[in-house]
């Protein structure tokens, strides 16, 4: 998170994707509390619990988005990561589940 040391435009987005553990999410939320416009990209359904827990612990409301897993499969260098069996992203059922969970805990505004 080297961008924490750089003072940029507050309109600049910092998209945080990749593997998320408590440390990574906490650092992302601290960056948000310092004025950086961070967005946590959910790529697996279970990442939501990590984000909600860290948010409650630190008292920082995050902005999250979701990487959709498309049904189409591409024939290229990244073809093995696309389609229903792709490693990254949420399918339609998982996206609905995330929305339902956020609504149930009155945190739908995280999206």
Element (H, E) at 38: strand 37-42
Position 102 scores a pLDDT of 96
Position 80 scores a pLDDT of 57
Q: Please give the chain's pLDDT, 111 residues, in tens.
A: 555 555 556 678 899 998 899 999 999 999 999 989 999 999 999 999 999 999 999 999 999 999 998 766 656 655 555 556 666 789 999 999 999 999 999 999 999
Domains in the chain, CATH or no CATH each: 2-110 (3.20.20.10)
Provide φ and ψ at 64, rounded to 5°: -120, 155
Position 76 scores a pLDDT of 60
């Amino acid at each position: 998170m080297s961008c924490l040391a750089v003072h940029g435009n507050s309109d600049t987005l910092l998209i945080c994707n990749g593997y998320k553990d408590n440390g990574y999410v906490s650092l992302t939320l601290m960056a948000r509390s310092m004025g950086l416009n961070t967005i946590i990209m959910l790529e697996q359904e279970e990442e939501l619990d990590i984000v909600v827990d860290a948010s409650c612990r630190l008292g920082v409301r995050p902005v999250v988005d979701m990487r959709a897993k498309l049904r189409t499969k591409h024939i290229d260098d990244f073809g093995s990561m696309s389609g229903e069996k792709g490693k990254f992203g949420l399918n339609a059922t998982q996206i609905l589940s995330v929305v339902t969970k956020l609504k149930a805990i009155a945190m739908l505004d995280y999206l």
